[in-house]
Structure 1
Amino acid sequence: MTSNTEKREKLIYFCQHLFSESLLPTPSELITAYIHQGAPRVEKVRPLHSHSEIAKVWIDLVSNSKKTFKIDHNELRSRAKFIQGHIRSIHQITKNSDSIITLADKNTSTEISLSHLIRAAEGVENIETMHPNKIKFYKISMYFMLVFLCGEADIENQSIKDFWTKAGIDSTTERVHFAVKELHKLLHVGPFATMALMVISQMTGKYPRGLWFDCMHSVYLPYVDYFFTTDMHFQTLQHAIHEPALSQKLVFLKKDMIT
């Protein structure tokens, strides 16, 4: 997203010669594929290749290093600002305050609380007797499902659009009702649950600027053998994940090891 043209072109040229022509699926593609499999604890093995528009462009760039990306920075910043605006609301949720979600369609607008939606979801124990930390976890998982899946809040969101087109659901309100009724397993396991743990592990102070990208990166954890990072936020995530099969994949490097 850098507006420094020279720096951007150097980075693109470097990547063209270093990386594969096949991109990994986008977070949206991984999430919709996970849903199609029925939200299992262990997914079926499948090729991990992106079918997004940017992946098609990338194949062309790798085959011809004289080509480059043409980026609409205003559009990209607009999308990023839209997403970041939603994610900042999570800070209030982590303080155990309830959040009111506005479901806006063409002609109607409905306000509903996260607590109400959690009560309506199957497989969630009585919220009245639930530990506050568990309530926080469910609220954040629910919020991600609403914003990311029902609201299509991702930079590359075509796979989410395709998901709803196939389901025959266009209304935001109907999407939320469908998600709460049919996709309630996503509150317990899978990408949104991991993203919720990523949020909880970072929310000890002020809002972290890189939170959204950390959440997006955490989605890839089940699909790699090892996840190398110098970001200590992932160390707190490692402590929050109670599944050794995932937490053991995180490998922390000192910055002086890769300079």
Structure 2
Amino acid sequence: MSSPALRFGRELARSRGARGWSQTALAKRMGYANSYVSLIERGKRALTFTFAVKADEVFETGARFQELYRLYSSSALLEGFSEFAEAEAGCSLLRTFQLSVVPGQLQTPAYAAALAAAAVHRGDITEAQAETRVSLLAARQESLRRADPPLVHAVMDEGCIRRPIGGRRVMAEQLAYLESLANSPHFMVQVAPFDLAERVPFRMPVVLLTLADRSILGYAESLARGHVERDRKTVTAWSGRYDRLQVESLSMAASLARIQAVRKELE
């Protein structure tokens, strides 16, 4: 059985061939690089909803490619995540809190692959879905490095930096990457120490996105699904909790020192 990414790519190539277009001709019509279209057709590049919409527009196929994209995104991700990922790609400020693992936006490829492999081992997803999950994460991270990148503020429970995901070497590399991000003008990294104990205001991972129109969107996950929260009262309450968490967590300098100390223990 082919993966959803390959199904999308094959349909793109079939539609292109039916019109007698080369990859170069299609790329020009869609406004993408020829190499990008080639990778999409071979299922080697993460898809975006924007690309699917443009394909439907160029081929005049209604919502055919958008439906294939939804199959692609839902095959490996929680319900509700696709809506969040679309908003994330255009946000101006991203605030995230994680309880057990490093936030996806800050993960190295090896760290992300280790988490996906564990999900395959548990039987939660297939190997094809794991590949899709990792490639989607790479695409999300790339969007955060656009010409006008958002400010990313990540607060991590101390367990995130102490749990050796992927083994000592992978985790040491992950911590070194966090150190580099902490020195970037677009990233703020803080650690919520264990002794913050019951004062941690969230009992699940939470993300708050400030959008271009200055509205705020919230996102939280349970084991079964993701939930996008737009209710203004609820999101305002989450923002207040996040502000308190930021104040009570270790400072950025102290957080960096804690991350460096854990990395040295691993090495």
Do they superpose with TM above 0.5? Answer: no
Higher strand proportion: 2
Name the TM-score, length of structure 1 as normaliser. Answer: 0.29
Name the TM-score, length of structure 2 as normaliser. Answer: 0.29
